[in-house]
Structure 1
């Protein structure tokens, strides 16, 4: 179940950890549609909701999903601990670092980090 919350005046669609896996663009578009309908500017998706292909950059799944969110001017937060994955993949570690420097896609381990980023 997705719920709309307001964080520091910003509408954020919070996705439940339980639910269908987000495996590609079609699944991302479903979330984007839901977010748009509810008036969200950000979508927070628990790491458990992403298929394993998302974290293997050579599959291009992550890039395709991130691009869809950018095309619709929606922020995407991947929420949860992916430290084991980034430790095993320098490419993923670099992708996460660059994403977190930007303003549209963030990889955050705790919900409190989202509150801190949207504060200002």
Structure 2
């Protein structure tokens, strides 16, 4: 499947929004998407909650940590758009809050919030 993006200029940063209907199950799959965006000049990526498999939101699986480590390693920023207040896990809520605090990974409610978070 070909990975499709929409690109935005966000100040001096090029941002890629994932448009493809793909479900990301692993850090390796995310890395393929990251590299696709990177090779087209993007330093930030926007994805939607629906792009992530349920295992991402179950912190015990380690999928979220593995994926977010890739963004740290490759110095790329990520915004995930979705409704995150539906989850009952306190550890997930803490994880989201801490991620948003440091800014490399941002959990946002809409595209405007995502673009703003990635411009900081």
TM over 0.5: yes
Partner of 1:43: 45
Distance in 2 between the 1:106 and 1:20 partners?
A: 20
Deviation at 1:119, TM superposition (A): 4.5
Q: Secondary structure at the match of 2:39?
A: helix
Moved runs in structure 1, 4+ residues, more than 4 A?
A: none
- Higher normalized helix content (fraction of residues): 1
Distance in 2 between the 1:119 and 1:13 partners?
A: 13
Query: Considering only aligned residues, what root-mean-square deviation do their CA atoms show, in Å?
Result: 1.3
Deviation at 1:39, TM superposition (A): 1.1
Q: Secondary structure at the match of 1:83?
A: coil
Consecutive unaligned residues of structure 2, counting only runs of 5 or more, are none
Distance in 2 between the 1:51 and 1:91 partners?
A: 18
Q: What count of residue pairs does the alignment treat as equivalent? A: 117
Consecutive unaligned residues of structure 1, counting only runs of 5 or more, are none
Name the CA shift for 1:22/1:6 in 2 (closer, same or farther; >3 Å).
same
Would you say the 8 A contact 1:8–1:115 is kept in 2?
no
Partner of 1:89: 89
TM-score w.r.t. length of structure 2 = 0.90
